[in-house]
Chains A and B, each alone.
Chain A
Amino acid sequence: MNHIPTSVARGVLAGAMAGAMALAASIGSAFAAGGKLVIAESFPPTAGWAMESDDPFVLTRVGCLEGLARVDFEGQVIPALATGWEQVSPTEWDFTIREGVKFHNGEALDAVAVAAALNHVLGADAPARSFSPKVVASVAAAGDMTVRITTPSPSVLLPLRLASPNTGILAPAAYAGEQIDPVGTCTGPFRIVEHIPEQALRLERNAEYWGGDVRLEAAEMRFVLDGGVRATQIRTGEAHLSRVIPASAIEALKTVEGVNVITVETARTNGLYLNNARAPFDNVNARRAVQSAIDAAAIAATIYEGSAQPAVGPFAPNEPWAPTGASGAAYDPERAKRLLAEAGIDAGALDLTLLVYTERAELPDLAAVVQAQLQQIGVKAEIRSSNWSGIETDLYAGNFDLFLMSRNHLIDVADPIAFLAADYTCEGGFNISNFCDPAVDALVDEARGTADPSARNALYAQVAVRLQDEAVTVFLVHIESIEAVSEKVQGYRMHPLAHYVLVPELGLAE
């Protein structure tokens, strides 16, 4: 047997380790965020900046893209690239374009450019819900600085449609190629200087911004898919602001000095959808029994680790269309059993199918909790989980009893009418519950023609009360969005719809 001195072996190992350590040390500490604000973002653009996709939301977040109107931080629609608008006839609206605005490439904003941009969205293969030929008939320049938009039927919601990121305005040059090009073609407080696909957007201040001074010199949005890594980056100092933090990271982040964890309720409610068209849930008492059997507070505290609030109905309490003083159904298994008995339903004889899709990671866990809580009142439910494609056919065909879904109720504009019409009217395009109530249809119809936002919101609140009273859907939790922000960041507020992150007022302490 041949032997090598142990010292040689140790030398080889020590040399290799020392080399690795030296390499790591030599490149260390060069990754601090520097003099620019760095955002760790969860959602990278995936659709080639197509204006009808969700990519424009990234562009508004980085302060590049602007539209004729915008939703402010209080949820109100206010003018942006338009100075005002007027409904000149039931189907015609005139928007007055702001004077003196320039695109980042120096071209002036005018009615022709605005009309061209909006017509591009309108002509997409699969137009955005907020601005499709179903809701907008035509867009045309009606003067140098006036754009006339015609709707196929009288509409009071048009200004809200023009506040959607999908209706953002880019310079004509943006639409010249196969893909939309936002570099140099926005009007916002920040201009894109570099887009590294799948990785980052690098931005600098637009010194000629029409809205006044922009405090930050530069910024970078990095696309980091893993929520845990986004949470780590705020701790390492690589990011000043990490968006969409997973609930599991909250407690650890709260203990980090110099980092604030902030939350805002989103327009997303997770619910247990009941098939109202077939037994047993064609009986209101059976639906109410499930409502009483589910402990939403426990679900919010355990599955969501405090990143969700027990639901009080389809809308979170802070939303302007939520019923005043609404409260969720009380957890009362004994009442649930009583209701089933009153309905003449033998709980033990029920064998329900609970569908759940796996694209939202927490839903399968939620299904197991719901199954266990139904078991407490003697109801057996079999879980069938699959990706969305695997259950879609059964959903539309009504081959289910219960279905867990995470639903955004501002699906096109900052107003829930499209959600209510699609999900809860007799002819709704996404009426998974197979619910039909002429009273609800009448309320939705009335809201469609009501111009005053307060009056409209009151009608939505009435619908919400009815849905909750009739236990059409067992609303479980209102989802909150969580962000972690360095204390160095000045003037940051979470936008209720996540439309804006980089705004002119945002600053960074040295």
Chain B
Amino acid sequence: MIPFIVRRFVVLLLTLLVVSVLCFALPYLSEADPARSILRARVAELAIDADAVEGLKARYGLDRPLPVQYASWLGNVVRGDFGYSFTNRMPVGDQIGSALRVSATLALTALAIAIIVAFPLGAVAAIRPGGRADNVVTFITQSLVALPEYWLGPLAILVFALHLGWLPSAGWLEPAHVVMPACVLAFRPLAYFTRVARASMLDVLNAPYMTAARSRGLSVARSIVAHGLRNATPPVMTLFGIWLAGLIGGAVVIEVIFAIPGMGRLVYNAVVNHDIPLLQAGVVCIVALAVAINTVADLLYLALNPALRASRHAG
């Protein structure tokens, strides 16, 4: 286990180093002049004063050679200092911390909803493969995968905020604001989790030892809870990790529709405004989190699956 953790840690560091170079360099590869973009973001004006551009370049050191800028930036990042946003001049670390909390809340709530619904749906579908329940579940899950969030989000607002009046339409000011975006965001992972849970449970329910257990008097419900859920947990866990990493930085459509100040919107705005420090730090954090979450998911998978643990130990 320990060599595995060490290996993963080394990979994590190397990944971050490569990502840091890419994140630093990418904003400079576009044709846009960062100083002009910053000014445009501040004043929403197309015609930019040439003196102001030069002043801004000098102020932020944008006139220095790129390797010098990278070395300076990396040194600060290692010390935990991401600098200040070019656009709003707030500390980048504070903004990312705040957006990460929002995104983590949204993503975890969505994935919790997905898991809570996926396991029973997967179980219902697995009980009689090809039966009516299975067909209904398959239809639902395939539909959910196909429904785009930019359509589902406004539709949910019309139904639950406008017509039923049950939920607020948008914002992030109170717990109720989490419900609708989290439910909309949950649909696609829910579909994938359900398919995986169904497949895993089918494996268990068809296993010879289950037939033996049933013949000894174990009920269907207990066999699903005791064996089916346990068997379905590791693959769903892996999927959970992948989705969590993806949703933390990738829920930008939902964040814009529901006015949520999360990571996706933060990084998207940083791209639009050419806010290089915010963009660089945002992407580095999203990638670092993705790698870290997947590492933890792999470790959990290892812990939950004795066969895999034994094979690694033997290897």
Interface residues, chain A, with chain B CB atoms under 8 Å away: 1-4, 6, 8-9, 12-13, 16, 20, 23-25, 27-31, 45-48, 50, 52-54, 125-129, 132, 178-179, 196-200, 222-226, 228-229, 232-233, 235-236, 238, 387-390, 392-393, 405, 407-408, 411, 422-423, 429-430
A128 touches B127 (CB 8 A): no
Distance (Å) between the CB of A233 and the closest chain B CB?
6
A297–B129 alpha-carbon span in the complex (Å): 61
Interface centre among A1, A178, A223 (most CB of B within 10 A): A1
Encode contact with A along B55-93: 1 for CB under 8 Å, 0 otherwise.
110010000000000000000000000001101111000
B42 touches A50 (CB 8 A): yes
Question: In the assembled complex, which residues on chain B have CB atoms less than 8 Å from the CB atom of A1?
Answer: 128-129, 205-206
Interface residues, chain B, with chain A CB atoms under 8 Å away: 30-33, 36-37, 39-47, 49-50, 52, 55-56, 59, 84-85, 87-90, 98, 116-117, 120-121, 123-124, 127-129, 133, 154, 157-158, 160-162, 164-173, 175-176, 179, 183, 205-206, 210, 214, 220-221, 223-224, 256-259, 261, 265, 269, 273
A46 touches B88 (CB 8 A): yes
Question: In the assembled complex, which residues on chain A have CB atoms less than 8 Å from the CB atom of B41?
Answer: 46-47
Question: In the assembled complex, which residues on chain A have CB atoms less than 8 Å from the CB atom of B46?
Answer: 388, 405, 407, 430
B43 touches A238 (CB 8 A): no
Question: In the assembled complex, which residues on chain B have CB atoms less than 8 Å from the CB atom of A235?
Answer: 162
With A4-B224, A226-B259, A229-B259 as known contacts, state yes or no: A411 contacts B47, CB within 8 Å.
Answer: yes
A125–B54 alpha-carbon span in the complex (Å): 10
With A12-B123, A24-B166, A389-B31 as known contacts, state yes or no: A125 contacts B52, CB within 8 Å.
Answer: yes
Residue in chain A with minimal CB distance to B205: A2
Question: In the assembled complex, which residues on chain A have CB atoms less than 8 Å from the CB atom of B164?
Answer: 28
Question: In the assembled complex, which residues on chain B have CB atoms less than 8 Å from the CB atom of A128?
Answer: 43
A27 touches B179 (CB 8 A): yes
With A4-B224, A179-B89 as known contacts, state yes or no: A9 contacts B124, CB within 8 Å.
Answer: yes
Residue in chain B with minimal CB distance to A411: B45
Residue of A13, A50, A228 near B89 (CB, 8 A) is A50
Distance (Å) between the CB of A134 and the closest chain B CB?
8
Question: In the assembled complex, which residues on chain B have CB atoms less than 8 Å from the CB atom of A12?
Answer: 120, 123-124
A31–B161 alpha-carbon span in the complex (Å): 10
A6–B124 alpha-carbon span in the complex (Å): 9
Question: In the assembled complex, which residues on chain B have CB atoms less than 8 Å from the CB atom of A54?
Answer: 42-44
Residue in chain B with minimal CB distance to A17: B117
Residue of A127, A178, A196, A405 near B173 (CB, 8 A) is A196
A228 touches B154 (CB 8 A): yes
Distance (Å) between the CB of A226 and the closest chain B CB?
5
B161 touches A389 (CB 8 A): no
Question: In the assembled complex, which residues on chain A have CB atoms less than 8 Å from the CB atom of B87?
Answer: 46-47
A407–B161 alpha-carbon span in the complex (Å): 36
A25 touches B166 (CB 8 A): yes
Residue in chain A with minimal CB distance to B33: A389
A229–B157 alpha-carbon span in the complex (Å): 8
Question: In the assembled complex, which residues on chain A have CB atoms less than 8 Å from the CB atom of B49?
Answer: 126, 129, 132, 429
B42 touches A47 (CB 8 A): yes
Question: In the assembled complex, which residues on chain B have CB atoms less than 8 Å from the CB atom of A407?
Answer: 46
A52 touches B259 (CB 8 A): no
Residue of B43, B176, B265 near A53 (CB, 8 A) is B43
Residue in chain A with minimal CB distance to B161: A236
Distance (Å) between the CB of B109 and the closest chain A CB?
12
A233–B129 alpha-carbon span in the complex (Å): 45
Residue of B88, B160, B165, B167 near A47 (CB, 8 A) is B88
A313–B125 alpha-carbon span in the complex (Å): 67
Residue of B128, B175, B257 near A229 (CB, 8 A) is B257
Question: In the assembled complex, which residues on chain B have CB atoms less than 8 Å from the CB atom of A9?
Answer: 124, 127, 133
A2–B126 alpha-carbon span in the complex (Å): 9
Residue of B45, B85, B206, B261 near A198 (CB, 8 A) is B261
B89 touches A28 (CB 8 A): no
With A126-B42, A411-B47 as known contacts, state yes or no: A390 contacts B133, CB within 8 Å.
Answer: no
Question: Across chains A and B, which 10 residue pairs bring their CB atoms closest together, nearest first?
Answer: A389-B32, A430-B47, A198-B261, A126-B52, A28-B166, A48-B88, A53-B42, A31-B168, A9-B124, A48-B89
Distance (Å) between the CB of A29 and the closest chain B CB?
6
A104–B4 alpha-carbon span in the complex (Å): 60
A423–B98 alpha-carbon span in the complex (Å): 42
Residue in chain B with minimal CB distance to A407: B46
B176 touches A46 (CB 8 A): no
A225 touches B256 (CB 8 A): yes
12 interchain pairs, CB-CB under 8 A: A1-B128, A4-B128, A6-B133, A27-B176, A28-B165, A126-B42, A128-B43, A197-B261, A198-B265, A225-B256, A226-B256, A229-B154
